[in-house]
Amino acid sequence: MFDDIMTAARTLPGSGRGDMSERCSPMAEILSVQVDLPESAQVYAWVDEISERADLPKACRLALQIIAEEAVSNIIRHGFPDASPAAEDRINLMLDVDDAWVTLRIDDNGIPFDPRSTPTSQRAATLEDMRPGGLGIHLIRRRTASMDYVRREGRNWLTLRIARVPAKASPAAA
């Protein structure tokens, strides 16, 4: 199944893939999924396969899985609020791994949204005060070294970088 996904991703026609491939190394992997929650399961398999081949440390794999899944699910759930996404609406992901960094670039044609502008999540004082949702961007921030965003040509472009060997969280940051 993974080979089928990668073959389809490498031969994608259309808007996002050409732009993305121009900005990534020749070793980068590219995946395109429909804007549909069941389709997002492909992201997990794709990240897992690349993590295995790149021999990423366990902590890095976990961080990569979390940021990829949170970003894609947020796009699917919130990026197309007015109507059902059209068949041509796609989320494109590019994953590039080098000796020091893992870079995940995601582009979509949903509504403009800069996740950096979202206020930092406040912790609930008690378990009763906790509400479901709203922690996705917080989880992404906690696990990335950098988060960059630009809106260009009708698309959101999000770039997330994590250290190949993540730094240990300080007790104060936890």
Per the structure, the complete domain to which residue 159 belongs is given by 2-163
110 located within any domain: yes
Q: Is 154 part of a structural domain of the chain? A: yes
pLDDT tens digits, one per residue of 91-104: 999 999 999 999 99
Phi and psi at 94, nearest 5°, equal -130, 130
* CATH code (residue 44): 3.30.565.10
Is 93 a member of any domain? Answer: yes
172 within domain boundaries: no
Whether the pLDDT of residue 127 is over 60: the answer is no
Q: Is the pLDDT score of 26 beyond 50?
A: yes
Q: How many domains does the chain have?
A: 1
Q: Is residue 169 part of a domain?
A: no
CA–CA separation, 132 vs 125, rounded Å? 14
Task: Report the pLDDT value the prediction gives residue 170, as an integer from 0 to 100.
Answer: 45
Q: Mean pLDDT, the chain, as a whole number?
A: 79
In a domain, 47, yes or no: yes
- For 106-118, what is each residue's pLDDT tens digit? 999 999 988 878 7
Burial 72-101 (b: 16+ CB within 10 A, else e): bebbbeebbeeeebeeebbbbbbbbbeeee
Rounded percentage of the chain residues whose pLDDT exceeds 90:
50
Contact (Cβ atoms closer than 8 angstroms) between residue 92 and residue 32 = yes
Spatial CA neighbour of 34 closest among 109, 96, 104: 109
Tokens of 130: 């906790």
Is residue 73, in this structure, part of any structural domain at all?
A: yes
Residue from 11, 135, 7, 129 nearest 67 by CA: 135
Over the stretch 44-67, which tens digit does the pLDDT of each residue have? 999 999 999 999 999 999 999 999
CA–CA dist 87, 67 (Å, integer): 25
Q: Is residue 174 part of a domain?
A: no
